[in-house]
Structure 1
Amino acid sequence: MRDYLRNHEGEARIFIVLVVLALFLGFASPSFFSAGNIASLLNNNAVNVIWAVGLLVVLITGGIDISFAVGASVVQYLTALALLALGGGNWLLGVLFAGAFGVAIGCINATLIAGFRIISIVVTIATFNALFGLLMFTTSGKSIYNLPDWWTDRVAVLSLGDGGALTLPVAAMVAAMAATWFLISRTTIGRQLYAFGDNPEGARRAGVATVRMQFIAYSWMGMMAGIGGLMQVNVAQEVVPNALIGRELDVLAAVVLGGARLGGGRGSVLGCFLGVLLVAVVQNGLNLLGVSPYAFKMVIGLTILAAISLTNVGLVARLAGGSRRRGHAKTH
C-alpha cells in the first residue's frame, strides 16, 4: 500500500484536495451531495473526461493539442450529415463515423507536426482557427435539430435514486478511460509513448519510431474528440457549430491538475479523471454558492499558469542536474 501511494503521490494529493473541497461544499450547500447534483456533475462532465484521456496521450508524448474542441464540432456536423444521408443510422454507425472523422483530423495535426517539424501548439492553434473558420463558413452558423431519435434519447445506465440517474455519456466515459488505460499501461506502444515524451532523442536512439508515436497520439486524441462530440449531442440534443469552443482550456487545466506534465513523459488516466472532477466540483460549488462564473475562469487561468511555471522549474532543475553530472564526470 505504501509503495502504491508513493508511485501515485500526485493522484493521492489531488484526491485529498477533492475530498476536503467536497466536504466544505457539502456543509456550505445542502444540495451538493444530493443524488440529482452528483448525477448532473458526472453526466455534464463525462465528455470532458473523454477529451481529457485523449489529451493525456498527447501530453505524455510532450505535445499539446488545443484544437480538439473545434475538431469535435466538425465531427458532430459531418457525422450528422452522414447519418441523415443514410436515413438515420444507429449507435454503431455513429461511433464508427465519429471515430473515423476524428482520427482523420488527428492525422492532419500529426502530419503537420511530424512532417514539417512545427511545434505542436503552433500547429493546433492554426488548425483550431482553420477548422473553426471552415465550419462556420460552410454552415453559416446554422444548427442541426432534426436528428435521429436514437442519438437524442436519454438512456439511463444507472439510477442513483431521488431522481438522479447516470446516462449514456457516463458509460462512454468509462469505456474511454478503460481503453486509454490499457493503451498506455498494458501495451508496448504505451511504454514507447512515455519514453518518447520523457526523452525524444533517447527514444529515437533506442529504436522507437518517433513519427509513429506522434501519429498514434494525435489520432487517439482525434478519436476521443469525435466520440466526445457524439456524446455531447446526446446531452444537448442538437448540433451547434460553435457550442464547444472554449472548453479546451478547462480540459487542459484538468489534465495538468491531474498530474500530466506539459514537458511529456508523465500522466495517468486516474489523475485525468480526478483533475476533471476537481475542476467540475469547483465550478459546481461556485454556482451553488452564487459566485460569479468569471471567478471560475480566473481559477482555470491561474491553474494553467501554475502548471506551466512548475513544468519549467522542473525542466530547469533536470537540465542543471544533467550539467552537474557531466561536469563531475569530466573531472574524473
Structure 2
Amino acid sequence: MLNGLYVMDPNRFDDVYGPQAREAIERHLTIASPLLTADRVTPDVLADLDVLVTGWGAPKLDADLLAAAPRLSLVLYGAGSIKGMVTPEMWARGVRVTSAATANAEPVAEFALSQILYALKHGWRYVLAARAAAATAPRGPEIGAYDAVVGLVSLGATGRATARLLAHHHLDVQAYDPYADPAQAAELGVRLVGLKELFATSDVVSLHSPLTPETQRLVGTELLESMKPDATLINTARGGLVDEAALVDVLGRRTDLFAVLDVTDPEPPVAGSPLFTMPNIVVTPHVAGSLGHERRRHGQAMAEELARYVAGEPLLYEITESALALRA
C-alpha cells in the first residue's frame, strides 16, 4: 500500500472527497493522519508520503516541502487550476499532478446551457423589466432556440462540454479557438470561425477561454459594437476576458444587447458598480462552477485517477508543465 495524506480546506473536504471517493482512495492508500490544513503540515507527516490528496487550500509544493517528502510521486488535486500550488522545484523533481478541472467543466457547461437557452427566450430581460415596472413586461421579438446561432469562444474542456450539451438542441453552433482541432470541432458539430465573425453573427456569445496575456480584455468595444441586434453575451469563464468599461459604455448605448456575467473583474464588482443597476446586465455570484455536492465529481475523478496510477495506466487528467501555460 502507498502512503497518502489529505491536506486541504476542511470546509470543502467533504464536498470534494465524500464517503464513496474516500473509500475508493483508501483502497490504495494508507491514510495515517487526520485531515490537515496546509499550515499544519509538518516534516514528520511528510517523511513517508507517496501520494498527496488535496484540493482547495492545497499546500505550496516548494523546496522545503519537497525536501521533507522525498517519496512524494503523485498529487491528486480535486479542484481546478493548479497554478497556485506547483513550483519549478516540483516539476524538476518529477512529481506528477492530476487535476479535476475537467470535472469542473460539467457544471459550468450546464449553467452555460441554461443561460444560453434562457437568453434566447429573453428570460432575464423580462424579469428585470417587470421588476423595474412592477408590472408584466411587454413581449418583444424573442429569438427562440430553434435554429439560433450560438457562438462559443474557446473549445477547451468547458467549451467542449457546452458544445456537447448544445448538440441536444436544434441550434447552429460555431466557435472561435485558434488552437482547436478541426476534426474534433466537426465531431462536436461545431463550425470554426474567426472571432469577428463569431461576434457579428451569433445570437448568443458564450465565453469559455482561459485568462492569458493574449485574452486579457479580449472582448472590447469593437466586438461588442458588432453584435447582432438583441444578442446576448454570457461570461462564465474569467472576468478579465471582458473590458468592463467598454461593456458598460456599449450596453448603455445599445440597450438591445444583454449580458449575463457570472464572473467579473474585480470579483465581486466594486460597490456601486453600474453592472448591478443597468437594465440589460445581470450579475450572478460565480455560481457556474461546482457548488456543494457537485464537487464530489472532483473527488470521484481523483479516486479514478489514483486507481489508474496504481495499475500503471495512463492518467486521464495529468497536467504537465508545458500544458499548464495554456490553462487558466
Q: TM-score band (shorter)?
A: under 0.3
| Higher helix content, 1 or 2 | 1
Could you tell me the TM-score, scaled by structure 1's length?
Answer: 0.26
Structure ranking higher on relative contact order (CA contacts 8 Å, 6+ apart): 1
Structure with higher Rg: it is 2
Could you tell me the TM-score, scaled by structure 2's length?
Answer: 0.26
| Higher strand content, 1 or 2 | 2
